[in-house]
Chains A and B, each alone.
Chain A
Amino acid sequence: METKRTVFPNKVLPYLFVAPQLIITLVFFIWPATQAVKSSFERADPFGFSTQFVGLTHYIRLFQDPLYLNSIGRTVMFAIAVTAISMGLALLFAAAVSRLIRSSQFYTTLLVWPYAVAPVVAGILWWFLFNSSTGILAYMLRYFGVIWNANLNGTHAMILIIAAAAWKQISYNFLFFLAGMQSVPHSLTEAAAIDGAGPFKRFWTIVFPLLSPTTFFLFIININYVMFDTFGIIAATTNGGPNQATNILVYKVYSDGFIGLNIGSSSAQSVVLMLFVIALTFIQFRYVERRVNY
């Protein structure tokens, strides 16, 4: 790994500088993670006096548990919907803003602020909109004959959390798509325009393909967001219900472990999630190394 051509000769100082970061990382990140791995292979007796090595029992049980398989299915559906909606809308808005010159700053300001809204707050905002007794969207849906009740109907609950999670993520995707579009060389689009390509054709044949590194990067980041950062949305709205309909993996690992106190199963779930993040991070950094493909 690279350093400067010349470095300071001190022997002790650098250790003092990295120490705080390393101590916190070891104590609060790496040690707990190893404990999670360890307890996923163990069973504690009910009084907590002894633990017994049980091998892969927790994992085998986990993948035979219909509730866990249901949770995986729900998470996949949630992730696909949120990623598709928020990236699709963000791409549309970014394409529109990048056409403008004078008013682009104005629209950007009006589109980026939801980044700063907490997941919990986003959840409550949409819960209020879709609330079956007072919510304005539920009220409008009644005109179309839909009796909306996210407390009882699993599909309604899923739509609610998708809307809240996608809404919050649009601003983030928008900023990155916009930055990507602004780095597309003007000479390319101008040449295409001279050759007679209209704006839509230019977008799909030049701008969009050149954006593919951004799109891929955002895809990974969005999956990560949907898998982990949406905890607050679920906790503020459905609590995983009704009848497990919105019990996505990150909420389940919390509720099984912290509320249900099923340590073995929760640890196994933690390890599964950990492997998933490691894979995502790996893909992301492989990609960053080869940033531009063209």
Chain B
Amino acid sequence: MVENRPFLSILTHAVLIAGVIIVAFPVYVAIIAMTHTDVTLNSGAPLLPGGELVANLIAVWTFDPPGAPPFWLMVWNSTLMALIIMIGKIVISIVSAYAIVYFRFPFRTLAFWVIFITLMLPVEVRIIPTYEVVANLGMLNSYAGLTVPLIASATATFLFRQFFMTIPDEMMEAARVDGAGPLKFFRDILLPLSRTNIAALCIILFIYGWVQYLWPLLVTTREEHFTLMMGVRQMAGAQKVDPQWNIIMTAVVLAMLPPVVIVIAMQRLFVKGLVETEK
């Protein structure tokens, strides 16, 4: 429906521009802070860029922050953690959804409910006993400890189950008539059909892994496994004694950059993933 209401159109744009400013302002200030020295930042809050961007970027990448490993190592840890969680969640979810939809076996409903229960048990409500399990398994301070306990995923399983239910039964019947077994059907028909869903889910799950904070905080005590989120927290926490805001804000902007770029670059897939995993 097209209406000509000039005043309302101006209001609409005004509201949205205000919204964009509210949303972008904290990041704008952080980006400005990337381009100044700590002396400038501590003497006032500049609103226009300075000329120290390159110096700050070099400083962050070469600087060894107190109480945290070198920056590049944290970037590496965060990337690895996010990727392992993303791939792990997708693999175990897609195969369990396949089992639940395309097979009938005793305890199938039980298995479904056990997976469902994980929705009700976020790590925040079982902090100490989960830590103890990981400690007893000798998984503290390891990539396995950082990732494996987070890999179970009810939402991803439900998404794949939902999607498999929409695939016509004839597809599988035809494949079987042609002599395809369960593994061949999965590899040659189901996986290619799931491509878009997998891609959309990858975005959501990569972000999920990248932004984790509480779990890495629990299971890592040695610096070499610190993630970026722990590192920037550490740097910001040390700010009371020696506020090097230029370094802190440069690190913060770099830490938020990868997932934000992914969301902006792949907006359509991101929205699909978000809307579909949550319903």
**A positions within 8 Å CB-CB of B:** 1-8, 10-11, 13-15, 17-18, 20-22, 24-33, 35-36, 39, 89, 92-93, 96-97, 99-100, 103, 107-122, 124-129, 133-136, 139, 167, 170-172, 175-176, 179, 186, 189-190, 193, 199, 221, 228, 231-232, 235-236, 250, 253-254, 257-258, 263, 266-267, 270-271, 273-274, 277-278, 281, 288
A25 contact set on B, CB distance < 8 A: 114-115, 117-118, 152
B124 contact set on A, CB distance < 8 A: 228, 231, 250, 253-254, 273
Cβ contact within 8 Å between A135 and B45: yes
- Determine whether B199 belongs to the interface, using a CB cutoff of 8 Å to chain A: no
A129 contact set on B, CB distance < 8 A: 25-26, 29
B233 contact set on A, CB distance < 8 A: 120, 124, 232, 235-236
Please report the C-alpha to C-alpha distance between residue A99 and residue B124 in the assembled complex, in whole angstroms: 40
Give, as a whole number of angstroms, the nearest-CB distance from B131 to chain A.
Answer: 7
Please report the C-alpha to C-alpha distance between residue A204 and residue B47 in the assembled complex, in whole angstroms: 39
Cβ contact within 8 Å between A117 and B256: yes
Cβ contact within 8 Å between B245 and A136: no
- Given A18-B96, A18-B99, A186-B1, do A128 and B30 touch, yes or no (CB 8 Å)? yes
A13 contact set on B, CB distance < 8 A: 99, 103, 182
- Determine whether B130 belongs to the interface, using a CB cutoff of 8 Å to chain A: yes
Neighbour of B24 across the interface among A24, A110, A263, CB < 8 A: A110
Question: What is the interface size of chain B, counting residues whose CB is below 8 A from a CB of the partner?
Answer: 106
- Given A112-B271, A175-B271, do A3 and B102 touch, yes or no (CB 8 Å)? yes
**Please, what's the 1-or-0 string for B115-141, where 1 marks a CB less than 8 Å from any CB in chain A?**
101111110111111111110000000
Closest to A125 in B: B26
17 residue pairs of the A-B complex, CB under 8 angstroms, read A3-B102, A4-B169, A13-B103, A14-B103, A110-B23, A118-B255, A120-B232, A121-B229, A126-B26, A228-B122, A232-B213, A232-B233, A235-B214, A235-B217, A253-B124, A254-B124, A258-B131
Please report the C-alpha to C-alpha distance between residue A200 and residue B126 in the assembled complex, in whole angstroms: 47
- Determine whether B260 belongs to the interface, using a CB cutoff of 8 Å to chain A: yes
A11 contact set on B, CB distance < 8 A: 105
**B positions within 8 Å CB-CB of A:** 1, 3, 5, 8-9, 12-13, 15-16, 19-20, 22-27, 29-30, 33, 41-42, 44-45, 47, 91-93, 95-96, 98-105, 108-109, 111-112, 114-115, 117-122, 124-134, 148-149, 151-153, 157, 165, 169, 172-173, 176, 181-182, 185, 207, 210-211, 213-214, 217-218, 229, 232-233, 236-237, 243, 245, 248-249, 252, 255-256, 259-260, 262-264, 267, 270-271, 274-275, 278-279
Q: A126-B26, A170-B22 are in contact. List 9 more A-B contacts (CB 8 A).
A: A3-B100, A3-B104, A5-B169, A22-B114, A30-B121, A110-B20, A124-B252, A125-B29, A133-B42
